[in-house]
């Protein structure tokens, strides 16, 4: 099997308007800003998402700090280097303390790249089985703080009807 070689990393900062506001104790959000990581190798591209938020309220990592860490520290450690498997990416970044969201975004893109280079579905590369893949994954949704219990109950009903099987509810403190 050919090695995984990341020849190029592209970072894009995207803003996604939310269909409905999402409120936590940090405030009400109407959009989500996130970092998309694209890695290229052997004429193929892989994508990964950095889950850091624009503000440091949930985590000390932000989209801005993740951009900086990927561009200045992670890229020099992975660009042009041969990895026999994408599972070697994360250990190769161990000298960088913390910044797990930035590291995970690049590793995620490398797994996608590897799956595309080997022309295999990602679920198979990750060790899944056809039975698990066809059964699907129980997906969940987080419901932010609502203005009333009636609105919360309505929102839970909407999400259950949409097929979500796990629901996490944010409660207003105090």
Average pLDDT over residues 126-154: 84
pLDDT, one tens digit per residue, over 42-61 is 999 999 999 999 999 889 99
Give the angle subtended at the CA of 39 by the CAs of 35 and 41, to the nearest 5°. 175
Alpha-carbon dihedral 33, 150, 152, 139, rounded to 10 degrees: -120
Contact (Cβ atoms closer than 8 angstroms) between residue 146 and residue 24: no
If you ran DSSP here, which 8-state letter would residue 51 be given?
-
**What does the alpha-carbon distance between residue 108 and residue 113 come to, in Å, rounded to a whole number?**
9
pTM of the predicted model as reported, rounded to 2 decimal places: 0.84
Residue 173: pLDDT band (50, 70, 90) is: low
Please tell me the predicted confidence (pLDDT) of residue 58: 85
pLDDT, one tens digit per residue, over 60-118 is 999 999 999 999 999 999 999 999 999 999 999 999 999 999 999 999 999 999 999 99
**What does the alpha-carbon distance between residue 36 and residue 10 come to, in Å, rounded to a whole number?**
8
**What does the alpha-carbon distance between residue 45 and residue 38 come to, in Å, rounded to a whole number?**
7
pLDDT, one tens digit per residue, over 24-48 is 878 888 999 999 999 999 999 999 9
């Amino acid at each position: 099997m050919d090695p995984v070689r990341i020849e190029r990393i592209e970072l894009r900062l995207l803003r996604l308007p939310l269909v409905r506001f999402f409120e936590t104790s940090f405030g009400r959000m109407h959009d989500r800003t996130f970092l998309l990581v694209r890695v290229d190798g052997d004429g193929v591209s892989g994508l990964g998402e950095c889950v850091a938020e624009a503000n440091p309220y949930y985590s000390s990592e932000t989209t801005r700090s993740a951009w900086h860490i990927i561009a200045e520290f992670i890229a020099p450690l992975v660009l042009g280097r041969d990895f026999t498997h994408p599972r070697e990416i994360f250990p190769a970044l161990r000298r960088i303390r913390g910044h797990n969201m930035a590291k995970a975004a690049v590793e995620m893109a490398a797994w996608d790249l590897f799956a595309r280079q080997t022309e295999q579905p990602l679920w198979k590369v990750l060790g899944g089985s056809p039975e698990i893949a066809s059964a699907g994954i129980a997906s969940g949704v987080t419901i932010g703080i609502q203005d009333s219990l009636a609105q919360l109950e309505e929102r839970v009903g909407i999400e259950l009807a949409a097929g979500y099987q796990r629901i996490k509810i944010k409660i207003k403190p105090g």
